[in-house]
Amino acid sequence: MDTTYLVIGAVVVTLIVIGFTVFRNNAMSKAVALARKTKDVTPIVAEIDKDPKADLPTVFNATIKPLWDAYERELACDLIKVLLERKDDAPISQYWLRQVLEVEPDLARKSLGEAFIMAHVRAEVAAQCGSCRGSCGSCK
Per-residue confidence at 22, pLDDT binned at 50, 70, 90? very low
Give the residue-averaged pLDDT of 100-122: 95
What is the chain's length?
Answer: 140
pLDDT band for position 23 (cuts 50, 70, 90) = very low
Q: How far apart are CA 105 and CA 91, in angstroms?
A: 20
Q: Where are the domains of the chain?
A: 3-126
**Confidence (pTM):** 0.74
Q: At residue 68, does pLDDT exceed 60?
A: yes
Mean pLDDT, to the nearest integer, of 19-28?
62
Does 48 score more than 70 pLDDT?
yes
Q: Which residue, 69, 50, 118, is CA-closest to 108?
A: 118
Give CA–CA dist 65/70, Å, rounded: 8
From 3-17, 23-37, 53-67, 119-133, the region with the lowest mean pLDDT: 3-17
Average pLDDT, the chain: 84
Q: How far apart are CA 83 and CA 57, in angstroms?
A: 7
Read off the pLDDT of residues 75-85 as tens digits, 9 standing for 90 and up: 999 999 999 99
Share of the chain above pLDDT 70, in %: 75
Give the model's confidence band at 129: pLDDT under 50 very low, under 70 low, under 90 confident, else very high: low
